[in-house]
Amino acid sequence: MGAGPAGLAAARILSEHSVSVDVFDQYPRAGGQYWRHAKNEPFPAESFKTTLTSSRLNWLFECSIWQIESEKSGHTIYAIQNGRTIERTYDALLIATGAIERPLPIPGWTLPGVMTAGALQSLIKGQGLIPGERIVVAGSGPFLFPVIESLQKSIQQSSSSNPSSDIRIVGIFEARKLSRWLLNSVGLLLNPEKVIDAMRFLINLKREKLRVTTGRVITSIKDTNSKNVKRISVMPLKGEKVSNNPTGQELDCDVIAISYGFTPDLTIPSILKLKTVNKEDDEIVMVDSNQRSSKLGVWAAGEITGIGGHEIAIREGEIAALDILGKGGSLTSAIRKIDRWRKQIFATGLARVYKVSKRWFEWNADDVVVCRCEEVSRDEIINSFRELGADSVRTSKLFTRAGMGMCQGRLCHRNVQDIARVFGSESTKISRPIGGAVTLGELSD
């Protein structure tokens, strides 16, 4: 389940060993969020091109899994594709559903032209579109780097085809200071290639006369009522709090792309009631050294076992596939585990470098909308704990409807968790009995 780096890596090994595999994915083509590409473009990862044409792989694209039942006979998946229900039973499942991008609520983040950095990259890579002329990229984390690179490359292509084009990046704001990289010194020593990648990115920025302003966060976005122009307020971040001194700035733009990293997509693991653990404030699927989950016949790989990037996801997918084949104790598997460990040290350090403040909600006004679908404000969620007696994310949701809208909490759950940890309980487990939109008729069948 999932055709991103982890899923593709597992599918490649299984198909090479003559195993027939069904690959479910919600997108129209393989690659996931990391290798997103337009329909007619070559696949971004050269090493997986032959995997995509393997006769052993049955691709089930644009497919939404809404239920899984586990019995002695196997695991039965119920999914919807092209309006029709698919029901299939398997001996082994590999969950590689990746992560969901995490925005932080900001006054004005519901305005047109405000999107996640991943949404901007999706428009660029998937549709070849740049949605504005003056663009700001902000937030925190290494994901901003490839987004900026994709954007700058697309701007250059646009300028070549249309010399009168005036599309440009007018601001790049990273919440954390570069000095925090000292928190990841061990990870850098074990992964020197990451230092080279970072230097290459900074050199490219300098060549394009772009500058990353660190220790700054966007605290508000306002509509100027002038040709879709937005005015953002940018303030210094001192420790975990936004500075109140008058050293901020205002900037006009028409597109704001914001990302504060990712949080694991636990929709399917919660349906299967897999055991989870807490890592760096994220709930992740608990697995052993061979990527086996708490349920027999179910493996998990990639970001749902901890946010770490595509390289770790590939290794985990390969380790899971080898274990499914009964080769979990082989030399090949051991080498991959060592490489996974080396990369995990770096990823864990990176999570500390770009850790989002648990009290981010103090940066904004009381009435900032946290749950966009149900229009629930920060103040309403806090009051559900202070005044109504909520003691967990679930009870706060029942009082406020935060997380009950169309996205089913995928955008707001992690942020409501942070508020719950401060005002309520640490019991913030994700539980979704149904994983997607389904009709009453399909439920009754």
Q: Phi, psi at residue 155, to the nearest 5°?
A: -65, -40
Residue 12's SS3 state is: helix
pLDDT band at 425 (very low <50, low <70, confident <90, very high): low
- What whole-number distance in Å separates Cα of residue 400 and Cα of residue 394? 10
- What whole-number distance in Å separates Cα of residue 408 and Cα of residue 265? 12
CATH of domain 361-423: 1.10.10.1100
Task: Flag whether pLDDT at 335 surpasses 90.
Answer: yes
For residue 137, which of 169, 181, 105, 99 has the smallest C-alpha distance? 169
pTM: 0.89
| Domain covering 5-100+263-352, topology | FAD/NAD(P)-binding domain (3.50.50)
Q: Phi, psi at residue 333, to the nearest 5°?
A: -65, -40
- State the DSSP code for 76: E
Residue ranges of the chain that CATH labels 3.50.50.60: 5-100+263-352, 103-260
Angle, alpha carbons 67-420-418 (nearest 5°): 85
Digit-coded pLDDT (tens) for 358-387: 888 888 777 889 999 999 999 999 999 988
Total residue count of the chain as it appears in this document = 445
Task: Flag whether pLDDT at 246 surpasses 70.
Answer: no
Residue ranges of the chain that CATH labels 1.10.10.1100: 361-423
Read off the amino acid at residue 341.
W
386: tokens are 């202070």
59: tokens are 């691709």
Neighbours of 241 (CB within 10 A): 13
List, in sequence order, every beta strand (DSSP E) within 96-205. Answer: 99-101, 114-116, 134-139, 168-174
Task: Flag whether pLDDT at 187 surpasses 90.
Answer: no
For residue 70, which of 87, 85, 89 has the smallest C-alpha distance? 89
pLDDT band at 389 (very low <50, low <70, confident <90, very high): confident
- What whole-number distance in Å separates Cα of residue 345 and Cα of residue 351? 10
- What whole-number distance in Å separates Cα of residue 311 and Cα of residue 314? 5
Contact, 8 vs 48, CB < 8 A? Answer: yes
Sign of CA dihedral 14, 18, 20, 22: positive
Task: Report whether CATH 3.50.50.60 matches the domain 103-260.
Answer: yes
